[in-house]
Structure 1
Amino acid sequence: MKELQFNRHRRLRGSETLRAMVRETRLHTDDLIYPLFVAEGENIKHPISSMPGVFQFSLDHLGAELDEVVSLGIPSIILFGIPLEKDAEGSQAYHDHGIIQEAIRFAKNRHPELIVIADTCLCEYTDHGHCGVIENGQVLNDPTLDILARTAIAQAKAGADIIAPSNMMDGFVAAIRYGLDEAGFSHLPIMSYAVKYSSAYYGPFREAANSAPQFGDRKTYQMDYANRNEAMREATSDVEEGADFLIVKPALSYLDIVRDVKNNFDVPIVAYNVSGEYAMVKAAAQNGWVDEEKIVLETLTSMKRAGADLIMTYHAKDVARWLGAK
């Protein structure tokens, strides 16, 4: 009888040590960006009901959280601000002493080595919950750009290391790059939410950031989740306008987009493991339906495998502990 001829792929899977030696994709603590919600006021450590383990912090509680983040070796945070007062144009977003500016100063004074990313948007600051100026029920693109540039400059003056514009107005990277350069911050990088889909996965974030729109939705400025080629057009525009990083948001249902962006652009790619993705895992784990550690590490590794260089994730502290224990 003729001997069968076939490949022996299992030869490289015989032990954990051997599997680790040939592993193609690795998740590191250095890959992680931890989102934090900072609320104006005092003595606030408010749990987010839909995001177990995530809180809104006032500045007097933020220090302990930052200390833990740094002790775990997480190199970067991204800050979202929750002001006491909101108005039609979101003026607290660019106020020199707005909550996000104060949080940036606090974080950099306490831990100068920590990379502090400022989310640059208006939805947390507007009384209507949209990401721009409203006229006759419509979100106006061009008048919003000046407010975004003013916000980015205020964040830069406060000491932000990276500006991360997220509102998906056309030309937002160009406006912010021009504003930063004119204000003397040409050295600051822009981490653009270049590919941001209008997604149901953002639901818990709206609770965490108090940013739900008061009417309508965001489909006129965030992308249709059915579109793939459009992502390349958005990313191309942002790179041409001066983006130094590109974010794909959400991540888990958009791994094909992460790979497309990675294949087409020679800048660092960031996957945002968003609130709904986090909440689903937490809920399943609390019910004993999944092994939280295993499913989180597998999920985040899939984002790295798809092409992400960095991952924004609410799991960051747990992941740092798990990786440190291995």
Structure 2
Amino acid sequence: MKELSVVIPVMNEKDNVGPIMQRLAQALRSVDHEIIFVDDGSKDGTPKIIRELANKNIRLIQLSRNYGQSTAMAAGIDYAEGNYIALLDGDLQNDPEDITMMLRVLKEGDWDVVAGNRKHRQDNALIRKLPSRIANRLIRKMTGVYIEDYGCTLKVFKQEYAHGLGLYGELHRFIPVLASMQGARITQVNVQHHARIHGQSKYGLNRTFKVTSDLLLMVFFQKYLQKPMHLFGALGTLSFGGGILVNLYLLVLKLAGEPIWGKPLMILGVILLLSGIQFFTIGILAEMNMRTYFESQNKKPYRIRATFDGKDKKAADAYDEDNRKLSVDPVGLYED
């Protein structure tokens, strides 16, 4: 088994794959590694260049069409054999030299995930940096996972946490949140960032709207994935209760001899009642689906980090010492 697997999703990066292979070979010369390129439907001959330049440490996974960065990452992670897994963009904006530094931080600090922070980002301020700052602040506020730079692909994981991410859609932006949901201990380090030399960026302002949509999904996953009735039941109670109050008020008006038929308030009361019933129904169905998900696959709604026998004094003391070290700030500790 390799010590490190580097997963690199690429799409139309034929001018970058050669230089990135050279940079990685130099950066990882002292690490037993493999490099997994995942071609996400390139049209410019990128897979051909990879095959021509490949050596014994390089593997290519060629997807049948363009699925998106999250799916490409998931495919690479599924095929990775290393004890540690690094994610890297194929545009050479992140520096491969940072991988060994991040791997060292992960090992020495006993972290589960080390995320990169592009402190001096070399991108367009209006199109890339400003929307990214707004999105990062919003994600931190709503999820409680305090990572400075969610948009930086460069990350290093312990294998088990990378395999448990469950990437699909476009959730690669929320990898730290997905990892924290597994109980991962996360830190971040400053990494280098370079301007793109070859090819064109695949991102624009339109991704801001996608981030907002996915953020709502992440908040649901964090807070209500195992207890959806707490969300839909609360909404149903508010809606149904509001409908009851509105209709009681209309009943009083009717008994007082005032006409109520056709009033906008009557329509609102009916809508609130029906909405409340729908929220309750959705909550019940979601609860049933959640139970089916766990029970049909024998999945557990928890993850055990370690066990020890209290009779073993040395193991107990070591466990307590580890917890004292981690009690400072298990998520969000910034390191330079």
Shorter chain as denominator, the TM-score bin is under 0.3
Q: Which has the higher strand share?
A: 1
Q: Which has the higher helix share?
A: 2
Tell me the TM-score normalised to structure 2 length. Answer: 0.26
Tell me the TM-score normalised to structure 1 length. Answer: 0.26
